[in-house]
Structure 1
Amino acid sequence: MSTLALGFLKACSIILLIPVAQGLVWLINMMIVAPIFDPLKKMQGPDGSLLQNHFRELMDPSISPDTHENWVKSFGKTFRFHGFGKHDFRLLSVDLCVMSHILNSPIYEKPWQTRTLLSNLFGRGTFTMEGTEHKTLRKLIAPAFSSQSIKAMTPIFFQKAEELRDKWESLMSSPSSADNAKLPPPSAPPCSPPSLTDVVIDVAHWFSRATFDVMGLTGFDYHFHAIQCESEEVYLAYRNMFKLADKGPGLRGLVQLYFPIIEKIFPNKATCITNESRRIIDEAGQRLIHSKKSAILAEKASAMEITEKDILSLLIKSNLSSDVLTRLSDADILAQISTFLFAGSDSTALAMSWCIHLLSLHPDVQGRLRNELGSLSSCASTSSSTVHSAQSHAEAIEGLPFLDAVVRETLRLCPPVHGTMRVATRDDNIPISSPIVLRNGTIIQAGESIPLRKGSYVHIPIEALNFSTDIWGEDARIFNPDRWFSLPHTARAPSHPGIRNLMTFSFGPHACPGWKFSILETKIFIATLIPHFLFEPAADIQKFNAILTRPYVYDQFEFGTRLPVKIGRVDL
């Protein structure tokens, strides 16, 4: 072999060895060197083998409540657990002082992996922006979720609630078309002996269709007609994407985060579905944005009052009124709508579904609520009444104390989001309000702080905080709406306006902007349905975690999200 050829091979070998050496150095630093100097190494927490993680214990709703309770008893309110192996120390705390610091501090952001996964589905929405960009966006969308704007949307809430009620009435009149004809028989015995009609409906499915309709109209004045028929093209595109989101990224998806070229070179079925769905949504969205922007500009030019109240119109109006340098692009505006549609429809649908489920398990509570709603049952149908009538009816519903307690207790026990993550963008010291005993016996007293290094992950345990006996009392895991009439002192300190220490909507700069929207919509649907229907359990329902916490029938996980409930008519 010539000297030139040997030199070429040697150069190639060196070029190839460089990334291998860099990777080896990175691996040694990550798994051996860095953990030695990680301050979380000194904290107590569950131990594991070299590559063991604690994700299932923390994130599987079937075991996470016991996990949280046992770990808090063993290690205190603030401790560490293992992420991707023994080297990956992560922080978890049910100390509200710790959580308040992390959720209000600009130091902590959603991990880039989470933001990338979400932006691949929905674009650059409120879930994916951080820092100044996020602050500017929140300011732009604020008018769309003001009390006045939500009040203007109440006729749509009533319209769709009544449409769903009528649809369920028709299913009861034609049992062969109800969901019990489409659902396989449960392998587990029902929670209570059947005493109602044989009509069973999957409330999770129907509420999902109804809230999609609501968000279509209130979000961007678009008719999905999902309650009547699931065939509209844009609706199906969104549904296909949301189904993919529920399945999680899988191993391939995680690898693609670090090597996105894989998706372009070897697209799989999920990639094709996502791309086609995004194409349909983007084309429809661009038409809507162009139409509404033109209408708003024309009304401004003619000095006419802008009458459209949907979120897209309000967002465009706010965007056009802002500084040119801070305006959103049309693509970013569309991303907000996609984000609101996912968060606002499915999360609210789950809140309604879990509420009906809990009421079916507690007939005494269901009866008390029906009695309270009796004073409203004689009101005229608000879908065909004036806007003022709908708004007055909504105010009356908001003023019902037991309905409020039932909805809040449902949101506490069944938060649509089980937990979330933050990552420290620089070194920090976190204040604590409960003592921490380190592994060597050293005690960090309340009022002091614990160090956290840059790059450390923090788990935000929404469910654990909602189930904390230190906050809610010894019956924290029991459905008890009456607790809201005499909350313990520990549950009264406000963490978010109007909902006290309920972590369901989070708090701080990244708190859910649509929490008022979701609560009012839920109340109106429940207030519309409870006076007309009796609910009893039809199967043993369990929870699973897939971005949102969803229901499934025990031993029938392969059929996906379902919450079948037995229904009967109330004699009016």
Structure 2
Amino acid sequence: MALPILQSLAVFAATWIAWRVLRRLVRGDPFAPLRGPPSPSYITGCMKLLFSNTGMAYHEHLVKTYGRAFRLPGMFGETLLYVHDPKAMHHLVVKDTHIYEESDDFLLTNKNVFGKGLLATIGDDHRRQRKMLTPAFSINHMREMTPTFYGIIHKLRESITQQVVPGGEVEEIDLLSWMTRTALELIGQGGFGYSFDTLEHDAPEHPYSAAIKNYLSALNTPSLLLTRLFLSPRLWELGSPKFRRAVINAIPWKGLHELRDLVDIMDGTAVEIFESSKRALNDSESDLSKRIGGGKDVMSALLKANMTASEEDRMPDDELLAQISTFIFAGMDTTSNGLARILHLLSEHQEVQDKLRQEVSEAYEKQDGDLDYDTLNSLAYLDAVCRESLRLHPPAFAVLREAKVDGVLPLGRPIITTDGREVSEIFVPKGTKIFLSIHHCNREEEIWGPDAAEWKPERWMAPLPSSVADARVPGIYSNMMTFLGGGRACIGFKFSQLEMKVVLSLLVQRFKFAPSGKKVVWLNNGIIQPSTEDSPLTAMGHKKLHLPLNVSFAKSA
């Protein structure tokens, strides 16, 4: 069976490539007048450089050379747009979302991996799901979940204490591993009333934790990434799910099979969580308050709301199930790596760490116990550290959009074309992929000032320059694009902020973090993740992800 399938796929791929090349030759390049880099390869264009996990320097070169909006050579002569102009971003994520949507690759990959959840739907389906989910992420609900979060982080703190305790000496600890385990447990209990991890320092890693941690690295290997970007929108639509599974099994491609196995682990766990939540809700004798998280988790709230929703708003079981892996994927990797980045920054800036420790220590002494939601969010310097870290180092470097129909993209600042003309808008033909750089919009000097590329939490302790408000960046959070904006903004950004603040306040109060001496490098695997220069390769062939920091007891502890 394998040989006929492979032959059919080869014919399909060759036909698809030939059609793409012919279409380009017939219609020409609509972005030819725009400035941009030369193509190093007709087959792959700039895609290998653009999506390389070590390619951040290439992005810096592009933006420094070509500005806020420029063309990029894609695969087989295709041209992409690269944008970080705030006005253009407003049209892309807020005003003209009927024109610019998630790319077919993004939607179909998420649909096949996670199911028909928030990351795999557009239009009315997406709005209906978001309407049902939004109350579960309200501030009032975050207030109710705060004690659950504290219970988890106290376990984390005690486990790290056990690693440091011999003689109170400095210990090198992989903080990424702890942040990953903790973020999964927070989303498990806070999201689904489910425990993944005891957070004991010698406990084995939950299979789901390993799977989700390796998922992005596996998905974004150069060969898989280029295949997805160019062919997968059509491959995902071939035949039934059973047929596509047979195709995947038949292809002699180790990386694809490893990805399949990771997805199987995630899917199996999601089904287990969903069935457990449904049983608890349907059991008339079940006391939800005795469930993990006290029945305050997002899934319990969603299931209860769904039971009383109108027919047109109600979500079927397959959509409810899809939200589980969607939430874990969207919330775990971004938060864990965002926390790892903050701890790394604090280790390199001891004066900031000391000032933060003083603020949180004084707050806990006054409270004589855990802080409630509002008190935690009133800590100005903790808030400044989080905001500045998320501005300068957004966990998601960029997002892609695709023009579903012809459109015109206005620019906040005119650009100069190759023939010397000044233009204030760009015609965008249907099918164009647009690369939105969150990273560079957050670091724009015209918005944030000449020190925009520096980590300065103090900038948030005084009124921001008027240029920040004047730029009208369309982000949902603090005039930055970290959590996006518009109808596809991160629905769980308050959940993520609460996680970060509880973790940082309890850990910094007790521990001092310092560099380990190993050079930390940050890799762009779709999410920015830490490793070290001399890090070994994993069994899957990816650079090992870890953040080794020296940890000791803080003097005030």
- Please, what TM-score do these two structures have when normalized by structure 1? 0.83
Can you list the C-alpha shifts for 1:134-189, whole angstroms capped at 9, x where unaligned?
111110100110010011110012111211111111111249xxxxxxxxxxxxxx
Pair 1:381–1:283, CA change in 2 (3 A): farther
Distance in 1 between residues matched to 2:156 and 2:513, nearest whole Å: 15
Distance in 1 between residues matched to 2:480 and 2:434, nearest whole Å: 19
Single out whichever of 307-316 and 255-264 deviates more from structure 2.
Answer: 255-264
Can you list the C-alpha shifts for 1:548-570, whole angstroms capped at 9, x where unaligned?
11000113252511101001112
User: Are 1:248 and 1:547, in contact at CA under 8 Å, matched by a contact in 2?
Assistant: no
User: Are 1:143 and 1:318, in contact at CA under 8 Å, matched by a contact in 2?
Assistant: no
User: Are 1:238 and 1:281, in contact at CA under 8 Å, matched by a contact in 2?
Assistant: no
Q: Which residue of structure 1 lines up, in the alignment, with residue 361 of structure 2?
A: 374
User: Are 2:86 and 2:474, in contact at CA under 8 Å, matched by a contact in 1?
Assistant: no
Q: Which residue of structure 2 lines up, in the alignment, with residue 81 of structure 1?
A: 72
User: Are 1:256 and 1:262, in contact at CA under 8 Å, matched by a contact in 2?
Assistant: no
1:308 Cα deviation from its structure 2 partner: 2.7
Pair 1:349–1:279, CA change in 2 (3 A): closer
Q: Which residue of structure 2 lines up, in the alignment, with residue 220 of structure 1?
A: 192
Distance in 2 between residues matched to 1:205 and 1:536, nearest whole Å: 17
User: Are 2:377 and 2:383, in contact at CA under 8 Å, matched by a contact in 1?
Assistant: yes
CA root-mean-square deviation = 2.9
Distance in 1 between residues matched to 2:444 and 2:551, nearest whole Å: 33
Q: Which residue of structure 2 lines up, in the alignment, with residue 469 of structure 1?
A: 445
User: Are 2:34 and 2:418, in contact at CA under 8 Å, matched by a contact in 1?
Assistant: yes
1:362 Cα deviation from its structure 2 partner: 0.5
User: Are 1:534 and 1:569, in contact at CA under 8 Å, matched by a contact in 2?
Assistant: yes
Q: Which residue of structure 2 lines up, in the alignment, with residue 521 of structure 1?
A: 499
1:346 Cα deviation from its structure 2 partner: 2.1
Can you list the C-alpha shifts for 1:77-106, whole angstroms capped at 9, x where unaligned?
211111224x21111122100011011122
Pair 1:172–1:60, CA change in 2 (3 A): same
Single out whichever of 68-77 and 519-528 deviates more from structure 2.
Answer: 68-77
SS of the equivalent of 1:500 reads: coil
Say which of 258, 269, 280 aligns to 1:281.
269
User: Are 1:415 and 1:504, in contact at CA under 8 Å, matched by a contact in 2?
Assistant: yes
Distance in 1 between residues matched to 2:401 and 2:202, nearest whole Å: 37
Say which of 65, 68, 71 aligns to 2:62.
71
User: Are 1:43 and 1:439, in contact at CA under 8 Å, matched by a contact in 2?
Assistant: yes
Q: Does 1:47 align with 2:29?
A: no
Q: Does 1:404 align with 2:380?
A: no
Can you list the C-alpha shifts for 1:500-527, whole angstroms capped at 9, x where unaligned?
2211111111110111111122011111
Q: Which residue of structure 2 lines up, in the alignment, with residue 199 of structure 1?
A: 171
1:401 Cα deviation from its structure 2 partner: 1.2
Q: Does 1:482 align with 2:482?
A: no
SS of the equivalent of 1:325 reads: coil
Single out whichever of 544-553 and 265-274 deviates more from structure 2.
Answer: 265-274
User: Are 1:241 and 1:277, in contact at CA under 8 Å, matched by a contact in 2?
Assistant: no
User: Are 1:244 and 1:270, in contact at CA under 8 Å, matched by a contact in 2?
Assistant: no
Where do 1:382-531 residues align within 5 Å? 382=369, 390=370, 393-445=372-424, 449-484=425-460, 485-493=462-470, 495=473, 499-531=477-509
1:454 Cα deviation from its structure 2 partner: 0.4
1:259 Cα deviation from its structure 2 partner: 3.5
Where do 1:119-158 residues align within 5 Å? 119-158=111-150
Distance in 1 between residues matched to 2:22 and 2:435, nearest whole Å: 23
Q: Which residue of structure 1 lines up, in the alignment, with residue 324 of structure 2?
A: 337
User: Are 2:163 and 2:201, in contact at CA under 8 Å, matched by a contact in 1?
Assistant: no
Q: Which residue of structure 1 lines up, in the alignment, with residue 8 of structure 2?
A: none
Say which of 26, 30, 37 aligns to 1:33.
26
Single out whichever of 452-461 and 19-28 deviates more from structure 2.
Answer: 19-28
2:89 is matched by which residue type in structure 1?
A: M
1:28 Cα deviation from its structure 2 partner: 4.0
Q: Does 1:350 align with 2:337?
A: yes
Pair 1:69–1:296, CA change in 2 (3 A): farther
Distance in 2 between residues matched to 1:296 and 1:355, nearest whole Å: 45
Q: Which residue of structure 1 lines up, in the alignment, with residue 246 of structure 2?
A: 264
Q: Does 1:311 align with 2:298?
A: yes
Q: Does 1:248 align with 2:238?
A: no
Distance in 1 between residues matched to 2:14 and 2:344, nearest whole Å: 56
Pair 1:420–1:199, CA change in 2 (3 A): same
Distance in 2 between residues matched to 1:435 and 1:479, nearest whole Å: 29
User: Are 2:219 and 2:259, in contact at CA under 8 Å, matched by a contact in 1?
Assistant: no
1:24 Cα deviation from its structure 2 partner: 7.7
5+ residue gaps, structure 2, are 1-10, 237-242, 289-293, 538-542
SS of the equivalent of 1:517 reads: helix
Q: Does 1:290 align with 2:278?
A: yes
Single out whichever of 117-126 and 204-213 deviates more from structure 2.
Answer: 117-126
User: Are 1:246 and 1:548, in contact at CA under 8 Å, matched by a contact in 2?
Assistant: no
1:54 Cα deviation from its structure 2 partner: 2.3
SS of the equivalent of 1:127 reads: helix
Can you list the C-alpha shifts for 1:47-95, whole angstroms capped at 9, x where unaligned?
224335223544457553x54454344333211111224x211111221
1:495 Cα deviation from its structure 2 partner: 4.0
Say which of 504, 513, 530 aligns to 1:535.
513
Single out whichever of 461-470 and 402-411 deviates more from structure 2.
Answer: 461-470
Pair 1:56–1:478, CA change in 2 (3 A): farther
1:475 is matched by which residue type in structure 2?
A: D
Q: Which residue of structure 2 lines up, in the alignment, with residue 564 of structure 1?
A: 548
1:421 Cα deviation from its structure 2 partner: 0.3
SS of the equivalent of 1:435 reads: strand
Pair 1:360–1:73, CA change in 2 (3 A): closer
1:39 Cα deviation from its structure 2 partner: 2.6
Q: Does 1:549 align with 2:528?
A: yes
Single out whichever of 401-410 and 282-291 deviates more from structure 2.
Answer: 282-291
Q: Which residue of structure 1 lines up, in the alignment, with residue 348 of structure 2?
A: 361
User: Are 2:522 and 2:529, in contact at CA under 8 Å, matched by a contact in 1?
Assistant: yes
Pair 1:174–1:118, CA change in 2 (3 A): farther
Distance in 2 between residues matched to 1:514 and 1:364, nearest whole Å: 31
User: Are 1:59 and 1:418, in contact at CA under 8 Å, matched by a contact in 2?
Assistant: no
5+ residue gaps, structure 1, are 1-17, 176-195, 301-306, 383-389
Distance in 2 between residues matched to 1:241 and 1:541, nearest whole Å: 22
SS of the equivalent of 1:542 reads: strand
1:23 Cα deviation from its structure 2 partner: 5.3
User: Are 1:469 and 1:475, in contact at CA under 8 Å, matched by a contact in 2?
Assistant: yes
Distance in 2 between residues matched to 1:453 and 1:498, nearest whole Å: 28
Distance in 2 between residues matched to 1:61 and 1:21, nearest whole Å: 28
Q: Which residue of structure 2 lines up, in the alignment, with residue 168 of structure 1?
A: 160
Distance in 1 between residues matched to 2:22 and 2:192, nearest whole Å: 50
Q: Which residue of structure 2 lines up, in the alignment, with residue 13 of structure 1?
A: none
SS of the equivalent of 2:440 reads: helix
Distance in 1 between residues matched to 2:284 and 2:130, nearest whole Å: 21
Can you list the C-alpha shifts for 1:477-505, whole angstroms capped at 9, x where unaligned?
21111122242222235546773221111
Can you list the C-alpha shifts for 1:7-61, whole angstroms capped at 9, x where unaligned?
xxxxxxxxxxx98996586144234223x1x432221111224335223544457
User: Are 1:263 and 1:271, in contact at CA under 8 Å, matched by a contact in 2?
Assistant: no
- Please, what TM-score do these two structures have when normalized by structure 2? 0.85
SS of the equivalent of 2:514 reads: strand
